[in-house]
Amino acid sequence: MPSLGRLAGGSAARLSVSADGRYIDAGGEQLWVDVLHAALAHGLTPRSWTDYLHLTVGGTLSNAGISGQAYRHGPQISNVLELDVITGAGEMVTCSKEKEADLFHAVLGGLGQFGVITRARIPLVPAPARARWVRLLYTNAAALTEDQERLIDVEIGAGAVSGLMDYVEGSVLADQGLAGSWRSSFFSEEDAARVAALAKEANGVLYCLEGALYYGGAAGSDSDVDERVEVLLRELQHARGFAFVQDVSYVGFLDRVSDGELKLRATGLWNVPHPWLNLFLPRSRILDFAAGVFHGILRHGNTGAMGPVLVYPMNRNRWDGEASAVFPEEEEVFYTVGILRSSTPASSDGGQLLRRLEEQNEEIMRFCEEAGIGCVQYLPYYAGQDGWEKKHFGPSRWARFVERKRKYDPKAILSRGQRIFNAPLP
């Protein structure tokens, strides 16, 4: 239980590492980038991350917290030892899987509906020093997804490339993506011309498998990293001649998005509307989605908006079904798709681009419904309770969510904004 002194203390007091216990206690308001540096001072690191580190601990744990490490370690909500929570009923509770377990699971992925996270205890492991950062280009979704699934299959004897990458993601590169900062930041102008020619052969759409291999530092030797990269380049089905590799620091890799943030802030393009759409899709329908959305809706309804389009798989058994987060449970592997485009400032075009992007997101959701693709929104938004109940949670999960709401926030004081609940509760 945090004392009033701890709650009122400065940032340093809200980040406490136990090198012997291999964990860090972090205030819910702390940024993950500061958690990283505090742990690294002891040669340690958390295992699971988001791609952007300048987010709060309490914020990501109230959703899920996903990135390319999730296939192996699960989302951030699967990497928590203990929480301090102020519930909607006004109680201050320390909870874990062993103590007040129902509250612990309710809060993780609970969208802030049950309590405010004031402290999280995060497990730590020995930290690597560097990352071998790899990007491989593909001309079709089938080859990309097959390779991604080979990489995340961590069962013993699963294959030559199984588990070789510590981080596995992927992206879709259409015309506007090829012209963006991704190109200039990772390969030369000469390479860019070759990539543009390859994209033309592939009807304007390429796929990129992005991965990283950690090595050195407290995590151990770097003696086999070159061999691991050679195996990957030999075994994977990428377009030959289109493999790009950089060697960067571990911190530089994890905090890579902040470089892009600084550039966008300098040009006034950071604080603009972000009509993002994040989906979890069953493995069996990812190619149907790719054909209908990547090669259909996005390709032919090109808005000119910039921003990454991510696509990568995760293993369901790394997610805790007791937590409040919703994810597909029918298949052992599911995909996350992040369509992370940005609009222009509303004043510059009267909000027309924003409206077009929002309409396109709605078109994508209609396509999934009409095609029978059972998708779940991550970081969702619905206009009212009916959407949350029927489209997001489904009957069994909704019943549990309501039961927990009645228990931990009976007056619905934490309900504002997301339109999940109205007072009085159902």
- Return all residues near 116 (Cβ < 8 A) that are at least 6 apart: 28, 58, 85, 86, 414
Q: Are residues 166 and 289 in the same domain?
A: yes
* Residue 408 in domain: no
Q: Are residues 117 and 8 in the same domain?
A: yes
Q: What is the mean pLDDT of each run of 10 residues along the chain (426 residues)?
A: 37 85 98 98 98 98 98 98 97 98 98 98 97 97 98 80 96 68 66 89 94 88 88 97 96 93 84 94 98 94 84 97 96 97 78 92 97 96 92 95 97 91 80
CATH (domain of 77): 3.30.465.10
- The DSSP secondary structure of 253-320, one letter per residue, reads HHTTHHHHHHHHHHTT-SSS----EEEEEEGGGHHHHIIIIIIIIHHHT----B--EEEEEEEGGGS-
Q: Are residues 332 and 204 in the same domain?
A: yes
Q: Are residues 173 and 53 in the same domain?
A: no
Q: Are residues 236 and 305 in the same domain?
A: yes
* Residue 417 in domain: no
Q: Are residues 262 and 303 in the same domain?
A: yes
* Residue 307 in domain: yes
Q: Are residues 142 and 63 in the same domain?
A: no
* Residue 26 in domain: yes
Total domains in the fold of the chain? 2
Domain end, chosen from 77, 95, 126, is at 126
Q: Are residues 65 and 161 in the same domain?
A: no
Domain end, chosen from 126, 158, 174, is at 126
Residue 115's pLDDT is what? 97
Q: Are residues 184 and 313 in the same domain?
A: yes
* Residue 425 in domain: no
Domain range for 206 is 130-377
Residue 70's pLDDT is what? 98
Q: Are residues 141 and 282 in the same domain?
A: yes
CATH (domain of 304): 3.40.462.10
CA 75 to CA 71: how far, in whole Å? 8
CA 63 to CA 251: how far, in whole Å? 24
What is the chain's percent helix, strand, coil content, to nearest 5?
40, 20, 40
Q: Are residues 338 and 198 in the same domain?
A: yes
CA 25 to CA 121: how far, in whole Å? 4
CA 398 to CA 203: how far, in whole Å? 43
Q: Are residues 315 and 237 in the same domain?
A: yes
Determine how β-strand 333-339 pairs with β-strand 309-315: antiparallel
CA 155, distance to chain mean position in Å, is 23
* Residue 193 in domain: yes
* Residue 53 in domain: yes
